[in-house]
């Protein structure tokens, strides 16, 4: 039926898993194949291709380029063509 106004609703939830967020040091190191503490476009696009292959969804190659451009637009603050660990923000805590 209808829920009356000003009613208190109580939800019961079940937590299935807790995973590290995409901004973890481990994720940065996984993307940083040459361990130079900065992410190149090549490293990021390779990571994206691997992630897309894992989820099994077919995507047009132009989608990869759009996502890559967006990632660098939002994260390459100094415009040097690389995303440093500081720009990637690995120093803040992962939040749930």
pLDDT in tens, 17-60: 776 555 678 889 999 999 999 999 999 999 988 888 887 877 78
Q: How confident is the model at residue 92 (pLDDT cuts 50, 70, 90)?
A: low
Tell me whether residue 37 is exposed, middle or buried, using C-beta atoms within 10 angstroms of its C-beta: 0 to 12, 13 to 18, 19 or more.
middle
Sequence spans of domains, the chain: 33-84
pLDDT band for position 91 (50/70/90)?
low
Q: Give how far the C-alpha of residue 67 lies from the chain's centroid of Cα atoms, to the nearest Å.
A: 11
Q: Which fold has domain 33-84?
A: Recoverin; domain 1 (1.10.238)
The dihedrals phi and psi of 39, each to the nearest 5 degrees, come to -100, 125
Statement: residue 94 has pLDDT above 60: no
Q: How far apart are CA 84 and CA 96, in angstroms?
A: 24
What is residue 78's predicted lDDT score, i.e. its pLDDT?
Answer: 96
Residue 59: the pLDDT is 78
Q: Contact 24/91 with Cβ under 8 angstroms?
A: no
């Amino acid at each position: 039926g209808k829920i009356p106004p000003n009613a208190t609703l109580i939800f019961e939830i079940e937590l299935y898993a807790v995973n590290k967020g995409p901004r973890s040091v481990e994720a940065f190191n996984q993307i940083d194949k040459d361990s130079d503490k900065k992410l190149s476009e090549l490293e990021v696009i390779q990571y994206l291709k691997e992630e897309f292959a894992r989820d099994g969804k077919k995507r047009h190659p132009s989608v990869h380029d759009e996502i890559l451009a967006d990632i660098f637009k939002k994260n390459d603050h100094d415009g040097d063509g690389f995303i440093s660990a500081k720009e990637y923000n690995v120093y803040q805590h992962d939040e749930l």
